[in-house]
Amino acid sequence: MRVGLISDTHGLLRPQALDFLRGSSHIVHAGDIVDPAILDRLAEVAPLTAVRGNNDHGEWAQALPETATLSLGGITIHILHDLKELAIDPAAQGVRVVIAGHSHKPACEERGGVLYVNPGSAGRRRFTLPVSVGELLVGRGQVDARLLTLDVS
């Protein structure tokens, strides 16, 4: 199973990001969506789980949860926008992967049996940080993560 990861679109869904996400079994958006039309477009590609970021405002955004936990392919995944606001002990709750955005810095690190993934920002470039997305490859109770810098030149 392939789970597409995207975050911090800030109102801009790049065609390169959409192309990368095609073929996903599920898509996770880790917040700072800004434009609800982005959620509609992503939901046309695959089932979607999205959380609210600190820049998501309005009635549509209030309908989004601040966190979400789901099970895909036997793996429990916890999603939030800002990792600094993680209010659970993932390992104690059986969470294998934590997905967060906010920093715009793509990162993937395993700590204490939990894989922490930040797909970075797929929206407007911030400073010199890359424009990026990610994916989880889930199967037989195992998970691997991959981050990809998009060519937006």
Partner residues linked to 27 by β-bridges: 4, 48
Tell me what pLDDT residue 127 has.
82
pTM of the predicted model as reported, rounded to 2 decimal places:
0.97
Q: How confident is the model at residue 128 (pLDDT cuts 50, 70, 90)?
A: confident
% of the chain beyond a pLDDT of 70: 100
- Reported as a single tens digit per residue, the pLDDT across 62-110 is 999 999 999 999 999 999 999 999 999 999 999 999 999 999 999 999 9
Mean pLDDT of 125-150: 94
- Give the residue among 59, 63, 58, 98 at the shortest CA–CA distance from 50: 63
Distance of CA 145 to the CA centre of its chain: 12
- For residue 85, give the DSSP letter: G
Tell me what pLDDT residue 19 has.
97
Partner residues linked to 70 by β-bridges: 77
Query: Helix H segments across 87-135?
Result: none
Any idea which architecture 2-149 has in CATH?
4-Layer Sandwich (3.60)
* All structural domains of the chain with their residue ranges: 2-149
Separation in Å, CA 54 to CA 80, 136, 151: 11, 24, 27
